[in-house]
Structure 1
Amino acid sequence: MMGKREIGQLSPFDFVVAIIIAELAAIPMEATDEPLWNSILPLVILGLLEVVMSYATLFSRTLRCIVCGRPQVIIKSGQLLRNEMRKARYNLDDLLGQLRDKGIVDVGEVEFAVLETSGKLSVILKSQYRPVTPADLGISTPYEGLPTVLVMDGSVIGENLKEVNLDENWLNEQLRERGLEPKKVLLATLGTDGRLFVNEK
């Protein structure tokens, strides 16, 4: 109901609702003399309130800022913004710890650091400290894309086979060449370059 969000990305409102729902769900277990309906009705109301609020924040930036807060720039152009850190009650130990977590030990390498509404720190390094990419060297690279999962836990995924214009006969033939059958395969994927990866159970 809350959508595909990790617990670390929940807004304070979502987090509080989740805790209240857990408390309400425990009431009928603790007070067996209370009718179950007395707990179900508040759970349904809270669930609906959560869904309505999450939809409302999708379309209203003002409401989203009130409920979820705003990202705060903690480091700008390589300089610590102490006032922003005070507003967020974010101390230097927190900052250095999150930088180390990203493999950064020198604050001087950071161009921008943004404290997201989830509490995570997004970091953009100065250009001279970023890893070199093929684009920097003027090297063209082939298209990679995502591999298509054909077999998972011994089950053939028919819709994925259709997407790549193949059928089960082709798959069975490829697996027979490896001395396997679908039910003995843990994972089989087809890369965009046409290579079939097979991992048996």
Structure 2
Amino acid sequence: MLISFVRTAILYLLVIIVMRIMGKRQIGELQPFELVIAIMISDLASVAMQNTGVPLVNGIIPILTLLVAQLLFSYIGLKSAKTRAIISGRPTVLIENGKLKEQALKKEMFTINELLEQLRIKNISNISDVEFAILETNGQLSVIPKSQKRPLNPEDLNIQTEYEGLPLDLIVDGNVNTANLKTANLDEKWLSDELKKFGVENIKDVLFASLDSSGNLYFQVKEKKGEDN
């Protein structure tokens, strides 16, 4: 029992580290060769977990070999566009200027019903409203509407807008993020003084606080025990 627990824990940590090294992309964003490697790694790990008669190293070495192969393919793809096209393929245009490309659909074995479904997911109901629909190498569909069908934005109306950066998280569950305070050229004394202006005496009582790019502080205090939601 103990041996199985230790083997499972080691392999679990190894797979987590390997997948972390491979990158942060979700399953739906993986290239075909990346998906194959991810599936093979999971299979190798599960076999080594279940079969305690197999030395643990026999499960670790193939996983590390696949990691090296994935990193090698990724590196080669960065350096050579031709190799990247061979490994990952090329994007395919399925709709151009509001017209279906029949041969491209057949080549990718992509049915019109599937295409219409993907368009509806992107809030597009009419093929004629699409300038380009491109099937990316990871299987996702990118849709570029015609200029007349795109939502208005401030630039279209010649409206000048102010810069909006990402808010900085200053407090999460009562814990101060000193790194973000330093980024904003502030300190805990400033934060404490600002909270006191709103009647918050203890930083530990704050559930969440953030600072936007305009210098506005947002915060929410924790609910007291027994307080109704």
TM-score > 0.5, shorter chain as reference: yes
**Matches of 2:90 and 2:34 in 1, distance apart?**
16
CA RMSD of aligned residues (A): 1.5
Q: TM-score, normalised by structure 2?
A: 0.82
**Residue 170 (structure 1) aligns with:** 190
Is the aligned partner of 1:150 residue 2:154?
no
**Matches of 1:138 and 1:34 in 2, distance apart?**
68
Is the aligned partner of 1:199 residue 2:220?
yes
Of residues 69-78 and 144-153 in structure 1, the stretch that sits farther from structure 2 once superposed is 144-153
**Matches of 1:8 and 1:42 in 2, distance apart?**
24
**Matches of 2:215 and 2:157 in 1, distance apart?**
28
User: Identity rate of aligned residues, in percent?
Assistant: 47
**Residue 22 (structure 2) aligns with:** 2
**Residue 184 (structure 1) aligns with:** 205
Moved over 4 A (4+): none
State the AA in 2 paired with 1:73: V
State the AA in 1 paired with 2:93: V
**Residue 159 (structure 2) aligns with:** 139
Deviations 1:11-38 (A, max 9, x none): 1111111111111112233322221122
How many residue pairs match? The answer is 201
**Matches of 2:141 and 2:207 in 1, distance apart?**
37
| Counterparts in 2 of 1:37 and 1:81: CA distance versus 1, 3 Å | same
State the AA in 2 paired with 1:7: I
Contact 2:97 2:128 survives alignment (8 Å): no
| Counterparts in 2 of 1:179 and 1:32: CA distance versus 1, 3 Å | same
**Residue 75 (structure 1) aligns with:** 95
Is the aligned partner of 1:123 residue 2:143?
yes
Q: Secondary structure at the match of 1:93?
A: helix
Contact 1:2 1:54 survives alignment (8 Å): no
Is the aligned partner of 1:105 residue 2:125?
yes
Alignment match of 1:49 (pick from 69, 73, 84):
69
**Matches of 1:167 and 1:31 in 2, distance apart?**
54
Q: TM-score, normalised by structure 1?
A: 0.93
Contact 2:130 2:144 survives alignment (8 Å): yes
Cα shift at 1:200: 2.7
Alignment match of 1:63 (pick from 58, 83, 88):
83
Contact 2:32 2:138 survives alignment (8 Å): no
State the AA in 2 paired with 1:23: D
**Matches of 2:102 and 2:206 in 1, distance apart?**
55
Of residues 180-189 and 121-130 in structure 1, the stretch that sits farther from structure 2 once superposed is 180-189
